[in-house]
A and B are shown apart, each in its own frame.
Chain A
Amino acid sequence: MSLYEIIGGILIIIGAAFLFLGGLGILRMPDVYNRLQAGTKATTMGAMSLILGVGVVKMEDSWTWIVKMSIIIIFIAISNPISSHALARAMYRRKRYPFIKSSDKNMDAYREIIEKEEKDEKTVMNDQ
């Protein structure tokens, strides 16, 4: 085995382990926001590490592999946080309130915004 194969193999194994942990995370976590946390972070870095590993393994053959793999890595790094953010916002707007362990009322800072928007909508409807 060459040096490229050893480094790439280690990266591939790390990436696959984190993808596995991402799957386990969305199975174990209690509500949709925590699932998004585990799913997004673990799968993003898992996929990035695995794809970089493949690029490094194939680097002895030609330089085109690592370039194409970097394009995929950059795209995943940009797109995964955006989709998780859109999902989290959509779920909050559908009033799936997050699971909160402690009884502190300040723990959910976003709810006041939603309640305020609802009140505004109601007053607008009453005015009409």
Chain B
Amino acid sequence: MIYIFYITIVLLALGMLFAIIRFIKGPTAGDRTVALDTMTTIIVAGLVIMSAVFDRFIYADVALIYSVLGFIGVIVIARYLEGAL
């Protein structure tokens, strides 16, 4: 079972790396926000995997709250870019 978690962590880290490259390259604010959105989802998945590996139920709550806050952050940035704030 632990090998499945190893493979998963490697795949998530590679996806995260690509998102960070896009985050740095840009070229517009919107591209960076897309990268941020993707990174949020990958981090939520990583937190859930962590809660399974360490067998701590409370980490799943952290993942839930993180996904809520990431969603609100992306919405706020999008509304700001639109000029509605």
Residues of A within 8 A of B (CB): 1, 5, 9, 12-13, 15-17, 19-24, 26-27, 32, 35-36, 39-40, 43-44, 46-47, 50-51, 54, 57-58, 64-65, 68-69, 71-72, 75-76, 79-80, 82-84, 86-87, 89-91, 93-94, 96
Contacts and interface: CB of A to CB of B under 8 A. Distances in A.
9 contacts: A12-B4, A13-B7, A23-B17, A39-B34, A57-B1, A83-B37, A90-B79, A93-B83, A94-B82
Contacts of A89: 78, 82
Contact of B45 (A9, A46, A58): A46
Contacts of A51: 44-45, 48
Contacts of A44: 41
Interface of B: 1, 4-5, 7-8, 11-12, 14-19, 21-22, 28, 30-31, 33-35, 37-38, 41-42, 44-45, 48-49, 51-52, 57, 60-61, 63-64, 67-68, 71, 74-75, 78-79, 81-83
Contacts of B83: 93-94
Given A12-B4, A83-B37, A96-B30, A69 B82 contact: no
A75 B64 contact: yes
B5 to A, nearest CB: 8
A20 B71 CA distance: 20
A12 B8 contact: yes
Nearest to B15: A23
A23 B42 contact: yes
